[in-house]
Amino acid sequence: MFIRGLPYYMEFVTELKKIGLKDKEASVYLACLQLGPSPVQVIARRARVVRATTYVILESLAKLGLVTQYEEGKKTLFAAEPPRQLLRVLEKQEEDIRQKERQLETLMPQLQVLVKSTGERPSVRYFDGSEGVRAIRQEIVMYTKPGKTVLNMTNADHLDAYFPQTHTNYYRQRVAKRIHSKTIFTTTSAESKKRLLSVDFSEFSERIYVPPEHFPSPGGMTIFEDRVAMSSFSGKSGGVIVESAVISGMMRELFQLAWIGAKEVGESNVSARG
């Protein structure tokens, strides 16, 4: 028999809270799972939650697809949906995050006006560790407007070793937003070189490979909008974002010179699709 006081009950509550349920929501859902179809007063007693509060919680769980309500004679019964429906909680969280990202993208240019109103002095922000580098990459995608072009110089070996799974995700996010990219890269891996120059990675993209001796740096740089991001992928990892129309403009001009030189010593995509 299921006894609420057993230690493993609280473990279930703790785990359900980790995926997004509140304390009483977890208790009521567990009670519903154990009891089967039951009236609210029975569920409230098993969950040790006030009856009036249990009604509210059951409505909340129903919206998440975790509880079903139906009539049996003159009684209203509530039944828990199978545990696999808990995946819906995570899906709802993902939907909420995507919505907040869209809202933030809309708000970002307006907030930027406030930053620029303080003057033309360059702004420098520092980012520490792997989470800092991830934050830089997210800002590149979030802040760059659709149809714009970002300019990159990177050592693919260090980038892939540091973020083995994120390169493809970053590429998909950028393409989904129709952001163009021009990249000068190096790698000692023939497989990595072939992959990055392949048609599979050519949408909205132009890349030039240069031999490692021409670009031995263990870091990378991206120029986007009026910003320049620089990251280090070895040693004490991290990076900076410099925000300045003057500095980003100068770096764009230097990049174009580097692009011309890279064409003379490297290999490039056949075309940029998109």
What is 7-87's CATH number?
1.10.10.10
Residue that wins the pLDDT comparison between 16 and 121:
16
Q: Cα(226)–Cα(16) distance, rounded to whole angstroms?
A: 44
The structure's pTM equals 0.57
Tallying the residues shown for the chain, one arrives at: 274
Of the listed ranges 22-26, 38-42, 83-87, 164-168, the one predicted with least confidence: 164-168
Domains 7-87 and 121-268 share a fold: no
Residue 274 has pLDDT above 60, yes or no: no
SS (HEC) of the chain = CCCCCCHHHHHHHHHHHHCCCCHHHHHHHHHHHHHCCECHHHHHHHHCCCHHHHHHHHHHHHHCCCEEEEEECCEEEEEECCHHHHHHHHHHHHHHHHHHHHHHHHHHHHHHHHHHCCCCCCEEEEEEHHHHHHHHHHHHHHHCCCCCEEEEEEEHHHHHHHCCCHHHHHHHHHHHCCCEEEEEEECCCHHHHHHHCCHHHCECEEEEECCHHHCCCCEEEEEECCEEEEEECCCCCEEEEEECHHHHHHHHHHHHHHHHHHHHHCEECCCCEC
pLDDT of 115 reads 59
Contact 221, 246 (CB under 8 A): no
Q: For residue 270, what pLDDT band results from cuts at 50, 70 and 90?
A: very low
Q: What is the pLDDT of residues 86-118, one digit of tens each?
A: 888 888 888 888 888 888 877 776 676 665 555
Q: Where are the domains of the chain?
A: 7-87, 121-268
pLDDT of 2 reads 46
What is the percent of the chain with per-residue pLDDT over 70, rounded to a whole number?
88
Looking at 2.160.10.10, 3.10.560.10, 3.60.15.10, 3.30.870.10, the CATH number of the domain 121-268 comes to 3.30.870.10
Residue 119 has pLDDT above 60, yes or no: no
Average pLDDT, whole number, for the chain? 83
Residue type for position 194 = K
Q: How many CB atoms lie within 10 A of CB 115?
A: 10
Of the listed ranges 9-18, 67-76, 156-165, 196-205, the one predicted with least confidence: 156-165
Q: What is the pLDDT of residues 122-159, one digit of tens each?
A: 888 998 887 888 888 888 988 899 999 999 998 888 77
